[in-house]
Amino acid sequence: MSDERLLSTFLDLVRIDSPSRQEAAVAHYVTDRLQAAGMEVRFDESMDLTGSDTGNLIATLPGTAPGTRLVLSAHMDCVEPCENVEPVVRDGEIFSAGETVLGGDDKAGVAAIIETVERLTEARLPHPDIRVVLTVSEETGLTGAKALDPAEVEGDLCLVLDADGQVGGIVIGAPTHYTFVATFHGKAAHAGVAPETGTSAIRMAALAVAEIPVGRLDERTTANIGTIAGGTATNVIAPLVRLTGECRSIDRDRVEEVRLAMDGAMRRAAEAEGGRVEIAWTKEYEGFCFEGDSPLVSLVADACSDIGIEPRRFTTGGGSDGNIFSAAGVPTLVLSCGMTSVHGTEECLAITDLNALPALLLRVVARAVS
């Protein structure tokens, strides 16, 4: 019966529209369920910072036994197109009808957290202090997590339910991520009458791009040029070009090395052509990395084994709220939730994975008090 309730909860959630900054309806649904299960629910005052119609949801369940204080987290928003989702259950999997994403990212995590709390309280299972944190606007650059007071995620272990792949996946490393916006300044001139009096910002940007290595630089590091835009007309030497890009690495020293190399290439290109460049770097989030046999990783891996699932430890090139929580000093692992083909209309979720999520969390709770 609890698995049937879990599926019903998930289907309810994906039918609730929740594009980024419009998560209030999901928050209301979750509040009712968690309060009915005995949790104290409140919201932070991050709306002015995020632009969302609700704050981040924070719920607490006082422990009934000593042990590892747990934080369970997911995000309430979905990428577009995510309005008027019509879920379809077919051959043991859940899809959207095809015009929208399904929304398993991250409503699989939200549904699993609700079900876990309900099973804990209904069966009066011993548990440590548990905090639930559901964020807004994760898909717009981890905006909700960045606006959250770090004290709200204080705990001994935070589990963020927001990775793709079959349940059993444990993200033990994620990168530090930098982005840049570079503005190359040249000088406009008539390309046919007096080209020698102009300075091409397009050429500066092209020289920089040609020097910057992109793609997978090593097994832990990537770099990319994302956009280039500029110029005014075919017969005008381009006076301005805007270039954007990024670099990421799980190796903290390596990401700084790559960032400086990219920065240097752009500055050299501008100088060589007699122009100038303004470069604004933003650290989107800090990375984290665990040893595969660390106690907290082993706790989750053993919980996977308890329910007959092979644990998979892996690193990722993507970021999540887990990066923000880890940077706040909370030991954080990101768990796979069964999501497949996320951010596309072919997204699907196996019911076996959906059922495995609360089963796994309950075993984590059991081990946290043993």
Hey, what are 144's tokens?
Answer: 């909700």
68-127 pLDDT per residue, tens: 999 999 999 999 999 999 999 999 999 999 899 999 999 999 999 999 999 999 999 999
**Separation of alpha carbons 235 and 13, rounded Å:** 54
Closest CA to 300 of 244, 365, 349: 365
Q: Is 77 a catalytic residue?
A: yes
Question: Has residue 202 got a pLDDT over 90?
Answer: yes
Percent of the chain with pLDDT over 70: 100
pTM beyond 0.85: the answer is yes
User: Among the options 138, 139, 152, 273, which is catalytic?
Assistant: 138
Beta bridge partners of 78: 19
**Coil vs helix vs strand at 27:** helix
Per-residue DSSP letter, 199: B
Q: Assess whether 138 carries a catalytic annotation.
A: yes
> Residue 31: in which H helix or E strand, if any?
helix 24-36
Give the per-residue pLDDT at 322.
97
Return the residue matching tokens 């509040």. Answer: 31
* Residue 370 reports pLDDT greater than 80: no
- pLDDT-derived band of residue 190, with 50, 70 and 90 as boundaries? very high
pLDDT over 90, % of the chain: 99
How confident is the model over 321-335, as pLDDT tens digits?
999 999 999 999 999
Q: CA 358, CA 159: separation in Å to the nearest integer?
A: 12
Q: How far is CA 10 from CA 26, 47, 106, 111, 348, in A?
A: 11, 26, 10, 5, 12
- 268-282 mean pLDDT: 98
The sign of the dihedral angle between the CA atoms of 299, 303, 308, 313 is negative
Q: For the segment 286-311, what is each residue's pLDDT rounded down to a tens digit?
A: 999 999 999 999 999 999 999 999 99
CA-CA distance, 327 to 77, in Å (whole number)?
A: 22
Residue of 23, 44, 77, 139 marked active site: 77
Question: For residue 231, is it left (φ>0), alpha (ψ between -120 and 50) or beta?
Answer: left
Q: Where are the domains of the chain?
A: 2-174+287-368, 182-285
Q: What is the pLDDT of residue 2?
A: 86
Strands, DSSP E only, in 304-350? 312-315, 332-340, 348-350
Question: How far apart, in whole angstroms, are the C-alpha atoms of residue 74 and residue 55?
Answer: 14
Confidence bin at 353 (pLDDT 50/70/90): very high
User: What integer is the mean pLDDT of 52-63?
Assistant: 98
Q: Which CATH number fits domain 182-285: 1.10.760.10, 3.20.20.70, 3.30.70.360, 3.40.50.150?
A: 3.30.70.360
DSSP code per residue over 113-147: HHHHHHHHHHTT-----EEEEEES-GGGTSHHHHH
Torsional class of 232: left (φ above 0), alpha (ψ -120 to 50), beta (otherwise)? alpha
- Contact in structure between 363 and 325 (CB atoms under 8 Å): no
Q: Is residue 1 predicted with pLDDT exceeding 80?
A: no
Query: Which H or E run contains 237?
Result: none
How far apart are the C-alpha atoms of 334 and 163, rounded to whole Å?
6
2-174+287-368 CATH pick, 1.10.287.70, 2.40.50.140, 3.40.630.10, 3.20.20.70: 3.40.630.10
pLDDT at 215: 98
Sign of CA dihedral 123, 167, 6, 351: negative
